[in-house]
Amino acid sequence: MAEDTPGPVDPGPPPVRRAGPGEGTEVVGVAVDGGAVGDGGRAGAGAGPVAVNPGAGDAGARLRATGVGAVAVLLWASLALFTTLTGDIPPFQLTAMAFAVGGLIGLPLVLRGGLRGRGLPRGAWALGIGGLFGYHFFYFLALDNAPAAEAGLIAYLWPLLIVVLSALLPGERLRWWHAAGAALGLGGTFLLVTGGGGVEFRGEYLPGYAAAAVCAVAWSGYSVANRRYPQVPTAMVACFCLATAVLAAGAHLVFEETVWPRDAVEWAAVVALGLGPVGGAFYVWDRGTKHGDIRLLGTLSYFAPLLSTGLLVATGRADAGWPVAAACVLITAGAIVASSDALRAVLARPARTARIARDDRDGLPGAEIGADGEAAPSGAGAADGRT
């Protein structure tokens, strides 16, 4: 996600198979007749939002989707470095150029599907475009009306908000270790933003603070509400990116003067932004937020500013110091705490699988393993909404 000042802080198909008895039909894509079907989801009786509990599926698939979503965090870590290489290109122009690249890389997938996005629910369009463009618009507005440190810190409340808001999703429960892990991550980000110093919130910057808060709510809201549209294929992120590019170009014409890249390095940096943090990252984030562990993804997002700082230090564009080391400890500890249930499930799964196999061999009642790794009576599992 593009920013206009260098720094570490930025405000970002399973195969078709035959269904077994009692199952829906798993398909990929969006129906031509307007009926929405799933990108790894279930066929629906209409194009409205579908509230699902991904924990009702295979825990391994959910873990893989979480891993895919975490790739976005790695890509966002390169945002500050690539932004510093783009020279004096103003922020909205840079956003428009990068999102154009990000949209074009996914457009062939949309065209191959016959532009089936026309059958998508309107809410999905509003959410996708509003989330991508709204985040960047209010982030730049915040930076123009408040000091970068305070505005960036407020904007980077979005990972914590993702963890908290995830409790509103069907089948999800917010446990204390999720909130604690996110709070530790926020503490580490505070050290990175302030450099170990303090922040001073002043009344004259209230409009900028408010814009930063809207920015945080916009991205966290998009990430959590995205779970309501599992039937929207990830390829449609290309259309959201292109729409965002058009809106950003309009904002550029209104608020900025055009400055084109001066050399091949700056052009390459713009393309790299579109392929990575301001483009490609949104495809994997879409997959992760729809089908992965969104609470864990929210906490892992705090690694983005940490890794970003590491890249700047490695390239000589920032200095390492105790705040970076302390932030590393806090963010890593937060990720471990927040993922404790997932780690327990992974460690316990082989033993439970062996026990179930032994019970089946001995003719004893079997058990199913829910998405949280806890054994449940056969026929219950995670489908009852427990996670």
Residue 383's CB is within 10 A of a number of other CB atoms, namely: 16
**Structure-model confidence comparison of residues 223 and 23, the more confident one:** 223
Name the range with the highest mean pLDDT among 75-84, 143-152, 352-361.
75-84
**Per-residue pLDDT for 295 more than 70?**
yes
Compute the distance between CA of residue 337 and CA of residue 177 in angstroms, rounded to an integer.
6
**pLDDT for 170-205, tens place per residue?**
877 777 888 888 888 888 888 877 777 767 777 888
| Res 380 pLDDT > 50 | no
Q: Say which residues have a Cβ less than 8 Å from residue 351's Cβ, sequence separation at least 6.
A: none
Residue 274, pLDDT > 90, answer yes
Strands 375-377 and 367-369: antiparallel
Can you tell me the mean pLDDT for 55-68? 78
pLDDT of residue 320: 74
Comparing 89-103, 253-267, 367-381, the range with the smallest average pLDDT is 367-381
Per-residue pLDDT at 8 exceeds 90: no
Judged on CB neighbours under 10 Å (0-12, 13-18, 19+), 122 is exposed
pLDDT tier for residue 88 given thresholds of 50, 70 and 90: very high
**DSSP states of 18-41 as a string?**
---TT---B--S--TTS----SSS
CB atoms within 10 A of CB 20: 6
Q: Give per-residue pLDDT as tens, 124-157.
A: 999 999 999 999 999 999 988 988 878 888 888 8
Q: 64 burial class (0-12, 13-18, 19+ CB within 10 angstroms)?
A: middle
> Average pLDDT, stretch 199-221?
88
- For the ranges 97-101, 350-354, 382-386, the lowest mean pLDDT is seen at 382-386
Which of 307, 131, 149, 119 minimizes the C-alpha distance to 231? 119
Structure tokens at 240: 């959201």
Token pair for 115: 């532009």
**Which of 22-31, 116-125, 134-143, 365-374 holds the top average pLDDT?**
134-143
Among 33-42, 304-313, 332-341, the range of highest mean pLDDT:
304-313
State the average pLDDT for the chain: 76
Residue from 198, 91, 76, 79 nearest 143 by CA: 91
Q: Give the model's pLDDT for residue 131.
A: 95
